[in-house]
Structure 1
Amino acid sequence: MYTLLSGLYKYLFQKDEYFVLILGLDNAGKTTYLEQTKTKFNRSYQGMNLSKITSTVGLNIGKIDLGKVRLNFWDLGGQEELQSLWDKYYAESHAVIYIVDSSDTERLEESKTAFDKMITNSSLCGVPLMLLANKQDLDGCVKVSDMKAIFSPSQELIGHRDLHVSGVSALKGDGVNEGIHWLVESIKKNSIQRPPTLKDIT
């Protein structure tokens, strides 16, 4: 009887809670992407003015609920001196969103170097990965097909984890919904390897 009631309580009053890292160089659009995500998936959320977002120094957080799943986002600063802090969050994370500024062609190699260093960390072994070419709304940006070619040498480092590569415009919100829904399904599929924590619904 206790087992039955415990299962009913979990179904009615608890969510599976997961933690998602949002990484990338400074000015890639990570915070804008997080703000768009919170706005699209939280009806009551009053987002900040996207045109006034500045580079993150430290950490921005956010959360969204999709059915019985709660995603907690950690948006970390991307300046070179802050990248050394990224690995402090790897062991607790269930997925990574890596955002590239596709309009800044001069920093693509720098972004790929940071990406390669990140995915070789053993604490992220097997976690789903979403690689986003942001700012696809700008003229002269690197298209998704070219972005795939630039990052294709990293495939061996990426390994057999779930990977989703797509173009987005964080400023306009294009591509945000599709990516988040893919992320949820991939995290759930990987939950045997990285189980969720349980959170009482509030």
Structure 2
Amino acid sequence: MGLLSILRKLKSHATKELRLLLLGLDNAGKTTILKSLASEDITQITPTQGFNIKSVQNENFNLNVWDIGGARKIRPYWRNYFENTDLLIYVVDSADIQRLEETAQELSELLIEEKLRGIPLLVYANKQDLSQSVMAADIADRLRLHNIKDRDWQIQSCVATQGKGVKEGLEWACKSIERSYRKHQ
């Protein structure tokens, strides 16, 4: 049973539309996570050249998830999608050890963007099923997540191709956003 099926079984009268921005380097698994969230087939995924959008409902929110391509030539355009973002989801390929510093640099640049200031951050440490993958705690260290003081953040181990950890990350995200809204009401 996919996440969308589980969420539909919940009392689903979305009270608020949320915009979730799904970013990360190319081949990190962003589109696989997006399709997993939408309970779609993940066997035919091609690199994202622009963006994909899916709407997913949960108990309190209608989630509009924007998956933006992560190729180096596309990254300068990420900032065109920052407006009105409620949650930043950043996906890391845990098995791509050579690019961990590059992904850390990209994330640090995102975190200083004015339009993303203070919004919760969910990091998916994807591809945890591969033998050479780095544990989520080590990725948190390499991304310097423990230095983040201006927002809620969470790192979630996952295997997007199997849907493992994806739902748990989204549950944290929704709770974090809900807490944030309660504080500001």
TM-score (norm 1): 0.80
- In 2, the alpha carbon distance for the partners of 1:137 and 1:32 equals 15
Root-mean-square deviation (CA, aligned residues, Å) is: 1.9
Q: 1:171-199 CA deviation, whole Å, 9 max, x = no partner?
A: 0100011111111111122236889xxxx
Which runs of 5 or more structure 1 residues have no equivalent in the other structure? 1-11, 40-46, 196-202
Which runs of 5 or more structure 2 residues have no equivalent in the other structure? 1-11
1:92 and 2:84 matched:
yes
1:31 paired residue number = 31
Q: 1:114-141 CA deviation, whole Å, 9 max, x = no partner?
A: 1111111011111000011100011111
Q: Describe the shift of the 1:28–1:170 C-alpha distance in structure 2 as closer, same or farther (beyond 3 A).
A: same
TM-score (norm 2): 0.87
- In 2, the alpha carbon distance for the partners of 1:61 and 1:70 equals 13
2:58 paired residue number = 66
Structure with larger RCO (C-alpha < 8 A, sep 6+) = 1
- In 2, the alpha carbon distance for the partners of 1:180 and 1:84 equals 26
- In 2, the alpha carbon distance for the partners of 1:182 and 1:164 equals 8
Which consecutive segments of 4 or more residues in structure 1 shift more than 2 A? 12-15, 191-195
1:191 paired residue number = 181
Query: Percent same amino acid at aligned positions?
Result: 35
Q: Describe the shift of the 1:137–1:118 C-alpha distance in structure 2 as closer, same or farther (beyond 3 A).
A: same
Q: Tell me the CA shift for residue 58 of structure 1.
A: 0.5
**SS in structure 1 of the partner of residue 107 of structure 2:** helix
Q: 1:17-46 CA deviation, whole Å, 9 max, x = no partner?
A: 00000000000000000111111xxxxxxx
2:109 paired residue number = 117
Contact 1:94 1:194 in 2 (8 A): no
Which residue identity is paired with 1:144? A
